[in-house]
A and B are shown apart, each in its own frame.
Chain A
Amino acid sequence: MKHTLSVLLQNESGALVHLVGLFAARHCNIDSLTVATTKNPAVSRLTMVVQGSPALFDQIVRQTCKLIDVIDVSIPSLSSHNTTMNLAERP
């Protein structure tokens, strides 16, 4: 199953490696990835498509939320108020 993930990331060298390294270590292949700075040059937006079961995706989103450089995580397929915190706390 395909999932799309949108991440706001601090624009710093190493931040991208940290994030994609997490996916690699959890054996989750990235099908597509785009990264660019936002209007705020200190922040990048990263959009990625990954494959995996809903349970795997849910867990990897929670892990992504723990990365220090990650500012926010959202899932475009869910409604706009589903941001990092309520995703991370979803039972």
Chain B
Amino acid sequence: MISLNQKTSDLSLKKNHALHGQSMSGAALIMQVVVDEACEVLFGYSGGAILPVYDAILRYNIAHKRSDGREAMPLIVPANEQGAGFMASGYARASGKVGVAIVTSGPGATNMVTPVRDAMADSIPMVVICGQVPTTALGSDAFQEAPISNIMSSCAKHVFLVTNTTVLEATLRTAFEIARTGRPGPVVVDIPKNVQNATLCFDGQSRLPIPGYRKRLHKIVHARLNDADCYGFFTAFSAARRPLIYAGGGVVAAGAAPALRAFSASFAIPVTTTLMGLGSTDTTTPLALHMLGMHGAAYANYAVEDCDFMLVLGARFDDRVAPVPDQFASGAKFIAQIDIDPAEINKVKKVDWQHVGLLASTLERLTRYGIAHGVKPSPKAWQAHITTLKSRHAMNYNRDSALIQPQAVIEEINRHSQGRAIISTGVGQHQMWAAQYFDFAQPRQWLTSGSMGTMGFGLPAAIGAQCARPDALVIDIDGDSSIRMNLGELETVTSYGLPLKVVVLNNLGDGMIRQWQKLYFESGFIASDRSLCLKDFVKTAQADGFTWTRRLEDKALLASTIAEFLAVKGPAFLEVRIDPDAEVYPMVPPGAAYTQMLTGKYITSRSAPPASADETRPDAMF
């Protein structure tokens, strides 16, 4: 470890940590590093192989008693480790900080695989600390042993198995560094029990040498657009008549929303965002086109078809956005892309101009250059076209139905929250209705499992978000099937007195699956119809300690019920029996181009009815 010593000596000029040189257990050291890395709350479930760390949490809180009676390092214990993972993810998504989850070996760690993969797919910074059997027992099929470093290495940004006690501290600090730098992601640290129990000397700042990663990151962080790059960009922009920005989750992750808003405003460029990018622009502003893609707004998808210049920011032409890459934005003569990840450039669609670097500073540089060189805003005719698209092809649904429409529920909640609530969701129809009908004034208000599409995400993610933002209005918009997946976490809400609002849009089954079965499988509702299931969600919530619970079945009571529900000070649970046949539109069929978008009965389409579903390519049916 020659280079490690070198690194340590490089840092020797810095002020030493107050605890530098102190002797402590590995578990206490883990706790101290977590505190040093600005972690405010832990999510986790205990178990044999992680007990030393849990004891260290207890001792830390005893030693750091606060005058207000709250714990110095609060610990939220879920019903299942998967819950802890999604809580840490929800915390990270709502705050931008690294979420920390601590679980035991074997089943504790394998229950964490789904949240880790979910965080990787959505680029969410997390550090997951797993207990492991003692190093002497590794590979012996010991009780509660699982090969976590192997399993997680395929799912996480990085995984460490700490077998050398002397590098425990450096490893954990490096895990936080990797999680939050570059394109963020989850890092798993697998720590055998004997390492937790070892007596170690605390350093306070040691890190592992990761020369390749740091060298590449340094280059990306310091990449600057030169004048020729800016000139090339604005030459194409000025030649364009119909420019459009397609912004993804990278804008949120990079904290680049203010830079994006300034850039868009300076040159009057309309912005459409991905599911993950919602909130990067204020969705109520004239140039905001809300979401594009499979269930994006019709007007956003039309704008994609109509644009002749596209700027792609922190987005990756995912198959839900660009199902047929060749035909995506086919009118765009020039596509420019800015991303922090070199592997995302030209991965799906070739671009004409690219920059690998930090989004905020790059956009600020472009804005300055454009203003200094008198670049004109986009043509008035294009801005007027956007306004026309938005009014002519506005979102709409069956407003005259006697049954409660899910979109009406979202609109009613939105009337109260005014784009300021933090919304989490499960996965399926309710997720898409929430994405389509909520306004988002700011980034980090929209917490959803975008890439992995993990049902059961909503409730634990909302718990994590409420921990990050104790005073914010946090609402879990869930589906009856999605909430079932982590229903045990209802009890976690009340156990910790979190003022969460839980809405279950109950359509008696897996609505999105039924929608696809209607379209592509002759309405064979196998496994997706739960109309015979006897679950009483209201009684379930009551059993888990919710004192305000309600089942809403009468459309006439919608407005008054929502008002009462949102006015509750503590936790509240609302089940809404919605029209079970309500569908999500628009819909670009899987594997089809935007020209084949179905807008349904209530949204005006600008073209003839598209080709039937059976023209979809068989290999694209997912």
Check B216 against A85 for contact (C-beta < 8 Å). yes
B161 at the interface (CB under 8 A from A): yes
Check A59 against B347 for contact (C-beta < 8 Å). yes
Check A62 against B342 for contact (C-beta < 8 Å). yes
Check B212 against A89 for contact (C-beta < 8 Å). no
Judged by DSSP, the binding face of B is: mixed
Complex alpha-carbon distance, A85 and B216, angstroms: 7
Which B-chain residue is minimally distant from A59 (CB atoms)?
Answer: B347
Check A68 against B210 for contact (C-beta < 8 Å). yes
Which A-chain residue is minimally distant from B342 (CB atoms)?
Answer: A88
Q: Given the known inter-chain contacts A68-B210, A85-B216, please indicate yes or no for A17 contacting B342, CB distance below 8 A.
A: no
Which A-chain residue is minimally distant from B161 (CB atoms)?
Answer: A14
Q: Given the known inter-chain contacts A14-B149, A25-B154, A62-B343, please indicate yes or no for A42 contacting B216, CB distance below 8 A.
A: no
Interface residues of A in 1-45 (CB under 8 A from B): 8, 10, 13-14, 17-18, 21, 25, 42
Which B-chain residue is minimally distant from A71 (CB atoms)?
Answer: B212
Partner of B212, one of A17, A18, A25, A70: A70
Check A72 against B343 for contact (C-beta < 8 Å). no
Total number of B residues with any Cβ neighbor in A under 8 Å: 29
A63 at the interface (CB under 8 A from B): yes
Which B-chain residue is minimally distant from A73 (CB atoms)?
Answer: B212
B158 at the interface (CB under 8 A from A): yes
User: Which chain A residues border B158 with CB–CB below 8 Å?
Assistant: 68
Check A68 against B343 for contact (C-beta < 8 Å). no
User: Which chain B residues border A66 with CB–CB below 8 Å?
Assistant: 341, 343
User: Which chain A residues border B351 with CB–CB below 8 Å?
Assistant: 91
Check A42 against B3 for contact (C-beta < 8 Å). yes
Complex alpha-carbon distance, A46 and B257, angstroms: 41
User: Which chain A residues border B356 with CB–CB below 8 Å?
Assistant: 88-89
* Least CB distance, A17 to chain B, in whole angstroms: 6
Which B-chain residue is minimally distant from A58 (CB atoms)?
Answer: B346
* Least CB distance, B570 to chain A, in whole angstroms: 43
Complex alpha-carbon distance, A68 and B163, angstroms: 18
B153 at the interface (CB under 8 A from A): yes
Complex alpha-carbon distance, A69 and B178, angstroms: 11
* Least CB distance, B496 to chain A, in whole angstroms: 35
Check A42 against B153 for contact (C-beta < 8 Å). no
A84 at the interface (CB under 8 A from B): yes
User: Which chain B residues border A17 with CB–CB below 8 Å?
Assistant: 149-150, 153
B608 at the interface (CB under 8 A from A): no
User: Which chain A residues border B515 with CB–CB below 8 Å?
Assistant: none
User: Which chain A residues border B150 with CB–CB below 8 Å?
Assistant: 14, 17
Check A89 against B153 for contact (C-beta < 8 Å). no
Which B-chain residue is minimally distant from A63 (CB atoms)?
Answer: B343
Partner of A89, one of B161, B209, B342: B342
Complex alpha-carbon distance, A2 and B154, angstroms: 25
Interface residues of B in 31-85 (CB under 8 A from A): none
Which B-chain residue is minimally distant from A14 (CB atoms)?
Answer: B149
Check B178 against A13 for contact (C-beta < 8 Å). no
Check B212 against A14 for contact (C-beta < 8 Å). no
Check B343 against A13 for contact (C-beta < 8 Å). no
Complex alpha-carbon distance, A71 and B3, angstroms: 14
B354 at the interface (CB under 8 A from A): yes
Complex alpha-carbon distance, A17 and B153, angstroms: 8
Complex alpha-carbon distance, A68 and B347, angstroms: 20
Complex alpha-carbon distance, A21 and B344, angstroms: 20
Check B216 against A65 for contact (C-beta < 8 Å). yes
* Least CB distance, B159 to chain A, in whole angstroms: 7
Complex alpha-carbon distance, A66 and B2, angstroms: 24
User: Which chain B residues border A63 with CB–CB below 8 Å?
Assistant: 343
Complex alpha-carbon distance, A14 and B161, angstroms: 8
Q: Given the known inter-chain contacts A42-B1, A70-B212, please indicate yes or no for A13 contacting B345, CB distance below 8 A.
A: no
- Interface flags for A56-91 (1: CB within 8 Å of B; 0: not) read 000100110110111110000000000011001101
* Least CB distance, A55 to chain B, in whole angstroms: 9
Complex alpha-carbon distance, A42 and B210, angstroms: 11
Check B211 against A71 for contact (C-beta < 8 Å). yes
Q: Given the known inter-chain contacts A14-B149, A65-B343, please indicate yes or no for A88 contacting B216, CB distance below 8 A.
A: yes
Which A-chain residue is minimally distant from B182 (CB atoms)?
Answer: A66
Check B159 against A14 for contact (C-beta < 8 Å). yes
User: Which chain A residues border B341 with CB–CB below 8 Å?
Assistant: 66
* Least CB distance, B251 to chain A, in whole angstroms: 20
Check A59 against B154 for contact (C-beta < 8 Å). no
Which B-chain residue is minimally distant from A25 (CB atoms)?
Answer: B154
Q: Which of B150, B159, B213, B354 has the most CB of A within 10 A?
A: B213
B219 at the interface (CB under 8 A from A): yes
Which A-chain residue is minimally distant from B190 (CB atoms)?
Answer: A14
Check B345 against A91 for contact (C-beta < 8 Å). yes
Check A69 against B354 for contact (C-beta < 8 Å). no
Check A68 against B346 for contact (C-beta < 8 Å). no
B157 at the interface (CB under 8 A from A): yes
What are 18 A-B contacts defined by CB distance under 8 Å?
A: A8-B212, A14-B153, A17-B149, A42-B2, A42-B209, A62-B342, A62-B347, A66-B343, A68-B210, A68-B213, A71-B211, A72-B212, A84-B212, A88-B216, A88-B342, A89-B342, A89-B345, A91-B351
9 closest A-B pairs by CB: A71-B212, A62-B343, A88-B342, A68-B158, A18-B153, A68-B213, A70-B212, A14-B149, A21-B154
Binding site for A on B (CB under 8 A): 1-3, 149-150, 153-154, 157-159, 161, 163, 178, 209-213, 216, 219, 341-343, 345-347, 351, 354, 356
9 additional contacts (CB under 8 A) given A14-B149, A70-B213, A89-B342: A17-B150, A18-B153, A42-B2, A59-B347, A65-B343, A66-B341, A68-B178, A68-B213, A72-B212
